[in-house]
Amino acid sequence: MAHGIRAIKTGTIFEDSPLGLDKWLCAMWQIVNDRNGISSWEIHRALGVSQKTAWFMDHRIRHALQNGSILRMGQEGGPVEADECFPGGKPKNMHAKRRAKLQAHGDKVPKPVVFGLFDRETRQVRTKILPNVRREALMNEILDQVVLGSKVFTDAHKGYDGLLLKGYMHQFVSHMNEYVRGEVHTNSLENFWSLLKRGLTGTYIAVEPFHLSRYLDEQVFRFNHRKLTDSERFDRAVRQIVGKRITWDRLTGKEEGTQPEPF
């Protein structure tokens, strides 16, 4: 029986884990169905495992929730919203050592840049961490992810200037004056950012930039499957566990080429 369980785990995020599937599947159910996410401390208390083990479980499950879609947005002709977000806690709420480490970079506390796209036709969102919000970075993502000729709605950020010349039907709203002008708005992405920040600051409290991409995968999965029932969402998540194993060394940046960012 034990050999059979090991065989089932092979090639999945559960491989080499001494924990039973009862604990793994319980943790997965909580993560994919809790609107604001669930912290490793909550998993630790609910399942009776150590907090370190719960943290590792959480990240392996988040790794399984990656989408990896290569289909470009705008395929169905629907408008695409584009926007950026700067998640991160306030310096006054940080531990003194972390605050000092961040302040060593200068007067401004560096925050990761998360770029988002929302396809109104498919009702799907995608996110990616970018090095900055300069025009080149934003334009490259849109060119790579959105079908030419699509309507693209943004705010008035100068980084989106030039989308018309690239072949998109670009319209924007200036949030200094308005948030909606007919169909021109980024409200769907603003809603996603609100959910993301609520989870990061309210549930997880402090998220290292090195791990942020997996927290994004988690929130994107829940958002993109928000119309499913809890059982349907869980079933979808379980179908994604194969071929997505992640080791402790890779997760903690000890594996070559996976070192955390220096902030």
Q: What is the pLDDT of residues 3-33, one digit of tens each?
A: 455 667 788 888 888 899 999 999 999 999 9
pLDDT bucket at 263, cuts 50 / 70 / 90: very low
User: Is 64 strand, coil or helix?
Assistant: helix
Q: What are phi and psi of 58, to 5 degrees?
A: -55, -45
Q: What is the mean pLDDT of the chain?
A: 85
pLDDT bucket at 188, cuts 50 / 70 / 90: very high
48 has pLDDT over 70: yes
What is the model's pTM? 0.84
The residues, any chain, with a CB within 8 Å of residue 135's CB and separated by 6 or more, are: 158, 159, 160, 161, 162
pLDDT bucket at 61, cuts 50 / 70 / 90: very high
Q: What residue ranges define each of the domains in the chain, with the CATH number in brackets?
A: 2-65+208-251 (no CATH), 80-194 (3.30.420)
The residues, any chain, with a CB within 8 Å of residue 15's CB and separated by 6 or more, are: 9, 245
pLDDT digits (tens, 9 = 90+) for 142-184: 999 999 999 999 999 999 999 999 999 999 999 888 899 999 9
Give me the mean pLDDT over the 109-137 stretch: 91
Q: Where are the alpha helices (DSSP H) in the chain?
A: 2-9, 21-33, 40-47, 51-64, 96-103, 135-145, 187-198, 212-224, 230-238, 248-251
CA dist., res. 29 & res. 18, Å (int): 19
Q: How many CB atoms lie within 10 A of CB 171?
A: 17
pLDDT bucket at 1, cuts 50 / 70 / 90: very low
Residue with tokens 């072949």: 167
CA dist., res. 67 & res. 237, Å (int): 10
69 has pLDDT over 80: no
Q: Where are the alpha helices (DSSP H) in 34-95?
A: 40-47, 51-64
